Amino acid sequence: MSEVVIQTESLRLILQSTEEILTYIESLSPADRAEVSPDWLARVRASTAADPWTHGFSMVEHTSGAVIGTCAYKGPPDQGGVVEIAYGVDPEYQGRGYATEAARALVNFAFRSGQVRLVRAHTRAENNASMRVLAKCGFERIGEVVDPEDGLVCRWELQPGAA
Using CA atoms, how far residue 153 sits from 81, 122, 123, 146, in Å, is 21, 6, 5, 6
Task: Give the DSSP per-residue string, 76-124.
Answer: S--TTSEEEEEEEE-GGGTTSSHHHHHHHHHHHHHHHTTS-SEEEEEEE
* 94 occurs within a structural domain: yes
* 125 occurs within a structural domain: yes
* 64 occurs within a structural domain: yes
Q: In 3-state terms, what secondary structure has residue 149?
A: coil
What predicted TM-score, i.e. pTM, was given to this entire model? Answer: 0.92
Tell me the CA end-to-end span of the chain in Å, nearest whole number: 30
Q: What is the pLDDT of residue 127?
A: 66
H or E stretch at 147: strand 140-147
* 62 occurs within a structural domain: yes
Residues counted in the chain: 163
Q: What is the pLDDT of residue 1?
A: 45
* 32 occurs within a structural domain: yes
Spatial contact of 11 and 59, defined as CB atoms under 8 Å apart: yes
**Count of structural domains, the chain:** 1
Dihedral sign, Cα of residue 154, residue 84, residue 103, residue 23: positive
* 93 occurs within a structural domain: yes
* 163 occurs within a structural domain: no
Q: What is the pLDDT of residue 156?
A: 97
What would the pLDDT profile of 16-32 be if each residue is shown by its tens digit? 999 999 998 999 899 98
* 21 occurs within a structural domain: yes
Using CA atoms, how far residue 79 sits from 43, 82, 130, 158, in Å, is 18, 7, 27, 17
Residue 88 domain boundaries: 5-158
Q: How many CB atoms lie within 10 A of CB 26?
A: 8
Residues of the chain with pLDDT under 70: 1-2, 127, 162-163
CATH of the domain at 57: 3.40.630.30
